[in-house]
Structure 1
Amino acid sequence: MEEGNLNPTKEELARRVGMTAGKVESLLFVARTPISMQKTVGAETDTILQEITADTAIESPNMSVSKQLMRRHVLNVLNKLRPKERRIIRLRFGFEDGAERSLSEIGEIFGLSRERVRQLENRALYKLKKCLVNQGLDAYADTLI
């Protein structure tokens, strides 16, 4: 690297400071100047970057409504199951109190083996899927099995 060169390559920098070119590249990437979220986007607009940047922590209204509708449909379809199957599904997926139970925990409640609970759960999920498909709610059914 020449002393007067103001734009050395990554390889030249790496040699000079005693590290790999990859390490220099990652340091240069981290050191980029941050962009303000208040910066306007485009020359003739008042829109700021924050307005067009999605917040991944917030669910979109469409997705939220879809989930609420799906939950309502699934809860209605649960009535098609036998009482034991319905309770297993409600316990397994936390419909009763928000706490999802393991197969073993449900087995203790019903006095059944973990394997028997798994079989009943699978049968119930199959029935739910079939019901949802019959009602034209195939999109929900694909999430079950």
Structure 2
Amino acid sequence: MQLTQFTDYSLRVLIYLARLPESGQATISEIADYHKISRNHLVKVVNKLATEGFILTIRGKGGGLKLGRPAHTIGVGEVVRVTETNMDLVECFNMKSNQCCIAKACVLKAQLYEARRAFMMVLDKYTLADAAVMRKTFSQDLERDAPAALAE
């Protein structure tokens, strides 16, 4: 299973914000520059995350983004479910567009459902706070290369 780029970017934005000091905030441009991704893509991601209550957007001078809830209350699985538009692993998962002639007799479908369920169960065990913890060497590199707000 491969997550979409939209979900990947969503998780990156949330992890970035989770690593800020409690009163900290960041701009879309800052996050885009840090991750070397398009600001335009991030605008769409941020709009979705704000609509879903994962982040707050502060407008005006001194504005920016911050988490809408504490990181330990945001489930990784919850974010994936909200940002993934299609979790169908195979054609037969979609009853409307299924054209597979063996779908009714095939046992693989049940096995793939089980695999998807297991995948999401693992993600459901973790929160954004868990995902924001970096391995020591990676964290040191991150702090060296990141804006000052992340290094605190």
Higher relative contact order (CA 8 A, sep 6+): 2
Q: TM-score, normalized by length of structure 2?
A: 0.23
Structure 1 or 2: more strand by fraction:
2
Larger C-alpha radius of gyration, 1 or 2?
A: 1
